[in-house]
Chains A and B, each alone.
Chain A
């Protein structure tokens, strides 16, 4: 064992994630457990901080999809070790999010990336998959008690379905309790405004910030 302070260990965990280094992430997480450092803190101040940096690098286009996925692998290698040691009551789950690809479309790689970034930032994400009818977004959001619906589409021809989700929420009087965010290749801020969505995100990292902002308006 080295003589690292807790802060140094947290920094080491963050660096391991940014450097896509699974082995170091796992080794330092074990060290945190052995030293009886707070596991939640090790995730929150260490691994998650690293993922935040990775997300920023992705948004700045220095990192790309493969690097981001490898960072997530490094993060998970640590989280798997630390999670069983989190003291009860410390796990404050952020707002619940229902996510999916709108009906008519089966392209889900972008959606999966957003989901990955959201869950590594502490959101609980319910993934409805792809080709999801507008009705299912609304029904599942209600069932799950979700505060945010996130919808993705890669095909111009299916974007209308997003509008339908917003309309259904209005009809059922749920519009102020459930926020809607949209994204995907042909989607734009202008389109989000037009259909009355609460937000648009151009990439997976921005989606995390957007979710946090929307969650704050719900609290």
Chain B
């Protein structure tokens, strides 16, 4: 049997002939990112051989290796079957993501503190009350020791807060990469992974382990016992909630896209290692593709109470859009695909160190940019990609149809406009560039969300220019500029000056659910009344989508 060594991690193992590098890594508990679900498309699982000649012991499951694969010594982990001894250089996942931007704060509002869990001291014991029901008893007076947790379960990141249920204050916070993303990056890939073999078990366990680590770190920071935590609110998209609860998410991945969770429900919280009387609360779920994270956002932004017309948009791989018209809500989700996360973009990467995050072209034609972590640029992350596309459209390097111009009017732009494999591209540095192909990917992604917005507006018979305000929620949206969103026409020009970035409202709304139990009923009623629009069933949607592709 061939011997496999992961040098940086000190792992030395033998595997069956034909095992892929990816499977070998996973069986050793090592993480390799596979955004495309290991089908050899995204090339993000590249791994280095410490001795390039050992490529002789690897058989490619995809296209045969070329000369350059051999000399550079990097292969795709998911497409490389091992037949001979190999030594591999795997970057530590944690190192790679240490600098990943995570947004933990979101817009909120003022409300009374009336948590679901309360305590009553009877002179000798303290009764623990959930709603109206006594669920347990502790010795002595513990009424001042009452805590809850909110976890924003994002597809990519986990954000958690430890909240004092007596004062309402956040006493500690912690965030982490969602460990499930190492197995399958996007929502659909994760549903797929969960449906195979012990996939569900692996994903659920990874999530629980990571939560336990966050909880224990927070309880140390705040010097409290985990036993003093009585409620855990999980705010997240519908798929993440299924996986967090250990529920099979496969119905979400197939038409008619049914969610087995309706939310506004309680489950025991034993797995989190909190008080034995602890409960999980799941806020109401809107639909299979519009989850509790959006419900939390609707609560945090007080959307249903706003006068006039408000659009709430969470921009991401799946863009969720809620339109409020004087308290009447309709919602939809648009499949934008992973381009905003830097996937399918030639020089795209996640928002971690080395990523260009902002970009601007001056009057002179000179361009400037900023890099996360401040070092040399190695790629472009989502916010940077939107800036680049927006600026190129603004200065006319890319036209309204998304086509690169043959030439530029200003000298610095002329120099930046070069060809890559015969096709036009714009060079930001000598290594980092934006191509015609990238422009097409951005058109598809932004077109999906724009079409969703237009569909909701037209269904309600509202014009874009009568919209009073636009709320951009979510961590990705928070890092975008109004300018770029308008330049690439992800949002209509009419929205200029009306756009507010409200941050991680999944988290801030989750905290509101934790601190005031009255919202649980009121939001359940609001969610029930939301008109859920399935875009693919809307007549004329295809035409709308095609129109929305224009910059």
Contact = CB atoms under 8 A, between A and B. Distances in A.
A156 B188 contact: yes
B39 A190 contact: yes
A104 B288 CA distance: 14
A130 B535 CA distance: 14
A186 B255 contact: no
Given A157-B192, A157-B195, A190-B62, A61 B423 contact: yes
Main secondary structure of the interface of A (DSSP, over half): loop
- Chain B's interface size range is 35 or more
A130 B192 CA distance: 20
A206 interface: no
Contacts of B191: 156-157
B542 A186 contact: no
Interface in A61-109: 61-67, 69, 103-109
Interface in B187-201: 188-189, 191-192, 195
B254 A104 contact: yes
A201 to B, nearest CB: 14
Interface in B8-65: 36-37, 39-41, 61-63
B546 A65 contact: yes
B428 to A, nearest CB: 20
Contacts of B549: 64-66
Contacts of A108: 536, 542
B254 A107 contact: no
B546 A157 contact: no
Interface in B419-445: 423, 436-437, 440, 443
A112 B39 contact: no
B337 interface: yes
A215 B325 CA distance: 54
Contacts of A131: 255
A62 B337 CA distance: 21
B507 to A, nearest CB: 28
Given A61-B436, A108-B536, A186 B36 contact: yes
A154 interface: yes
Nearest to B40: A190
B40 A156 contact: no
Contacts of B253: 104, 155-158
A53 interface: no
A104 B401 CA distance: 32
Interface in B365-392: none
Contacts of B192: 156-157
Interface in A149-198: 154-158, 185-186, 188-191
B436 to A, nearest CB: 5
A64 B536 contact: no
Contacts of A104: 253-255
Size class of A's contact patch? Answer: 20 to 34
B536 A107 contact: yes
Contact of B39 (A62, A109, A130, A186): A186
Contacts of A64: 401-403, 440, 443, 549
Given A156-B188, A190-B62, A112 B41 contact: no
Contacts of B36: 186
B545 interface: yes
Contacts of A109: 542, 545
Nearest to B422: A60
Interface string B441-463: 00100000000000000000000
Contacts of B542: 108-109, 112
A156 B549 CA distance: 24
Interface string B236-260: 0000000000000010011100000
Contacts of B545: 109
B180 interface: no
A61 B285 CA distance: 40
Contacts of A61: 423, 436-437, 440
Most buried by A among B403, B534, B550: B403
Closest 8 CB pairs of A and B: A157-B253, A104-B254, A106-B536, A156-B188, A156-B192, A190-B40, A61-B436, A106-B255
18 contacts: A64-B443, A65-B549, A66-B549, A66-B550, A104-B255, A105-B255, A107-B536, A108-B536, A130-B255, A155-B253, A157-B188, A158-B253, A186-B37, A186-B188, A188-B39, A188-B40, A190-B40, A190-B61
Interface of A: 60-67, 69, 103-109, 112, 130-131, 154-158, 185-186, 188-191
Given A103-B254, A105-B254, A106-B255, 7 more contacts: A60-B423, A104-B255, A109-B542, A155-B188, A156-B37, A157-B195, A185-B337
